[in-house]
Amino acid sequence: MSERQEKVTPASGDDAQGGNDARGMALHTKIFLGLVIGGATGVVLNVWLGGEQRHLQWVVSHISEPVGQIFLRLLIMIVIPLVFASLSLGVAGLGDLRKLGRIGIKTFLYFILVTTLAVFIGLALVNTINPGGRLPTEVKAKLLETYGGEATQGLARAEGVSFGIKTFVNIVPRNPLAAAVRMDMLAVIFFSLIFGIALTRVPSYRAAPMISFLEALGDAMVVIVDLAMKLAPYGVAALIFSVTARFGYDLLLSLGLYVITVLLGLAIHLLVSYPLLIRFFARLNPWRFFRRIQTVMITAFSTSSSAATLPTTMRVTEEKLGVPREISGFVLPLGATMNMNGTALFEGVTVLFIAQVFGVKLGLGAQLIVVIMSVLTAIGAAGVPGGSIPLLILVLQTVGVPGEGIAIILGVDRILDMCRTTLNVTGDVTAAAFVARSEGFLPVDKSVEIVPAAVDS
């Protein structure tokens, strides 16, 4: 592991956030500019030329989408080695298994409680606003016709999804390498935890070479992250351009109340629930907290992937908030797979919205089932774009709502996916800050920065 030293400095302006380079513009500023320019250009061209215009489609298919996918793949490429190295080192660094158990219980309880809170917020809003009861019949028919093919694919994927005791059995992989190839994150996380525990149980002189290897692997992944983030402004611009150029805002208008309901729920959780948790659980200044992690939030929004954002999340959490690597390496990889506040809220709202569209009345008991299923399936959702769709169909079918109804929201799912992923990843960072504070790792001064130790040339 690279040597690091803690330095307490007064927070002042942008310098307190870190991230400013020698050329004066912070990385998050560049990414935000890429987001705005790409989104605005896509909307303008969509309105001017029309989303189905042949030349615009060629630009999206042959330029913007490939550029965006290269950036996304570059980040996802390092997720498996980073999760393995970080979790194994995090467990080995904690050392005492009783301490590991204590931190693990705090982490899981935080995930479950905050995710459940998110679902209740979503259900309260969708019952109050009733967006499904106001969707015009002709709009519903058009959406079902347009996205029926994608819905059929989602149904086919959902048929292979089962949620029960077998889900927990499959967390233990028969072949860790095969699990890594399949990007089966729960299985990879389990193996990493067991491997880290094993390192604490062998003599230190035998474990030292493997720990050194894992530290070098983790540091190498951080270097790749730094290289990838230099491309972030261009990758982000390409990703958002592809979405806005193809869909414009027509669908947002058609499904306006549904979109507003989801976004309002996400906003309440982000701007009300999280600040309270940050203030009273992590005992940090919420405003300063959000300023320091804005690079993480922008990256999550543009990639729609908790997994792709994980390398950036870990780096920023350690460097900007002062969370030690053994805590961030344990909590954040778990969070990227299991702490899906935004996804659970989205699922709860969507199930009731589609039920309203089809005139299916869901009573209190059915809605409690939606809460439980939304929390559980959010834990199992893949941390990649659209990863929650098959599990969402599973929730719909559980409460007797036609799974084909998913076609109604597929057109706006990408935009909502970007927003809920931002909430998911922000929740991961709040969890890491809470656990670090509860274990006495966070310094009393809230303006701690982690800076690299001097290296002899």
> Rounded to the nearest 10 degrees, what angle do helices 256-268 and 97-129 cross at?
140
The pLDDT tens digits for 325-374 are 889 888 998 888 788 899 889 989 998 988 888 777 888 888 888 888 88
The pLDDT tens digits for 165-174 are 666 787 888 9
- CB-CB contact of 87 with 189 (8 Å): yes
Long-range contacts of 182-187 (CB under 8 A, 24+ apart): 183/79, 183/80, 183/307, 183/382, 183/384, 185/83, 185/307, 185/336, 185/337, 185/382, 185/383, 186/337, 186/338, 186/380
The pLDDT tens digits for 208-220 are 899 899 889 888 8
Give yes or no for residue 12 having a pLDDT over 70. Answer: no
Average pLDDT, the chain: 79
| Helix, coil or strand: residue 171 | coil
The Cα 345–Cα 388 span in angstroms is 12
- CB-CB contact of 371 with 119 (8 Å): yes
The pLDDT tens digits for 60-75 are 888 888 888 888 788 7
Q: Does the predicted model carry a pTM greater than 0.85?
A: no
Statement: 22-444 belongs to CATH 3.40.50.720: no
| Helix, coil or strand: residue 3 | coil
Q: Where are the domains of the chain?
A: 22-444
The Cα 402–Cα 354 span in angstroms is 8
| Helix, coil or strand: residue 8 | strand
CB atoms under 10 Å from CB of 28, counted, come to 25
DSSP string across 51-106: TT-HHHHHHIIIIIHHHHHHHHHHHHTTHHHHHHHHHHHHHHHH--HHHHHHHHHH
CB atoms under 10 Å from CB of 397, counted, come to 13
Q: Any idea which residue has 């990838």 for tokens?
A: 228
Give yes or no for residue 456 having a pLDDT over 50. Answer: no
> Rounded to the nearest 10 degrees, what angle do helices 185-201 and 79-94 cross at?
30
112 burial type by CB count under 10 A (0-12 exposed, 13-18 middle, 19+ buried): middle
